Each structure stands twice: as structure tokens, then as C-alpha cells.
Amino acid sequence: MTESRLTALVDLDGTLTDPYPGISASILYALEKLDRPAADEPALRAAIGPPLEGTFAAMLGGDAVLAREALGHYRERFGAVGLYENTVFDGIPESLATLQAAGVRMYLASSKPRVFCERILDHFDLTRFFDTVHGAELDGRLGEKAELISHVLATEAIDPAACVMIGDRRYDIEGARANGIKVAAVGWGYGTIDEFETFPPDVIVPQVSDLASVVLGLLR
């Protein structure tokens, strides 16, 4: 039986926090370990959101073996220091507190490995806002957003009609659409105007201070 209580699935990177310093430095570290050319800033910014193994494959000429090796090097650095090279967007704790006080049940839904998500939320004192933390597994399972959202809806018995996905990239929008839930795209993350025109969300949240009111408006 599904739960009809108002629910939000919330992305992490680019939605709650700005992870660019840690992710970009860890990607560059991995490429250097493989003696490959450094990625430029547009490529590094585009890497925030989708599963990283695919990103590395694109950077490495489609070589799946090298991509897995690069991911291993990336995790060496990211797991030690990169995940803390991160900043919570101003106003996020207050917005999450407002949603929580309004009775919205929240679940993290990130393509980042769940073990990293848990450490990041704990470090920045954000775990208290979420019923459960969902993310990809280190072996790649649940790395695609549509698959992850389907898993969260089923595992937590969530009614899609009373649920919204909050994220910053096309992957959040496509994942939400594949599962029949509404989606609010945030304007402070790594999605571009062109991206949102091609993959239109139900609404774009212009700034963090608008997040709670816009999400509540979608849910009610």
C-alpha cells in the first residue's frame, strides 16, 4: 500500500550543496593518475549530476576498462578529502526545516554513492531532515536516476501523485517523468537554461528562499 503523505525526493549535488571543488579536483586527480590530459572547466561542470563512470568513459574515448580504473582513482581522493570540499547553499537548512514543519516527508535521492551521501549529510548536519538516504551503490546499481527514483518509490511505499522530485539537472527531470512524479528544478545548480528548455520541469525555483513555497505549491 502506498503512502499518500506529501513527499519530496531531493537531489544532493547542485541542489543542497555545491560540490564542484571536490568533484573537479578528484576527476583531475584520476586523469592525472592515468597520465591523461586534464578536462576543461565545461567538462568538469557537466560531470556534476550523471553517473561518473559514464562521464569518465566519454573523457577516455569510450574505453570502459579505463573508465572503471579512473573511477577507482577518483574515489581514492574523493572519499578521503573531496567529499568535504563542498559547501551547503545558503538557506538550504532553513528551507528544508520549513518543508519538514509543513509535514513533507523527505528522502535523499542522489546518483552519488549512498555511502558518500550519508557522510556528506552527516558532516553538514543535514541528515536530520531526511527519513532515509538513497543513492547509488558502489558497484553501479541504482546509478541511473529513473532506476533510483523507482526504487525509492517502491521501497518507501510512496504515492507518486503526492510526490515531487527536487533537482538541478536533466537527469532529475527525466527520472521524475519516467516515474510519473512532478519535478521542481532549482536555478542555483548545474542545469542550464538550454537544458531546462529541452527537458522542461514543472517549475524552476529561482532561488533558495523560494524553495519551500514552490514545492508546497506543487504538492497541494
Residues labelled catalytic:
11
- In angstroms, the CA 21 to CA 83 distance is 9
Calculate ∠ Cα 110-4-89, nearest 5°.
Answer: 35
State the helix-helix crossing angle for 20-33 and 52-59, rounded to 10 degrees: 50
Q: Which of 216, 220, 145, 149 is nearest to 181 (CA)?
A: 149
Cross-strand pairs, 204? 185
The label of the residue with cell 529513473 reads: 146
**Number of helical H runs and strand E runs in the chain:** 10, 8
Alpha helices in the chain (DSSP H): 20-33, 41-46, 52-59, 64-80, 92-101, 114-123, 145-155, 170-178, 193-198, 211-219
Count how many Cα atoms sit within 13 Å of the Cα of residue 45 in the half-sphere of its side chain. Answer: 8
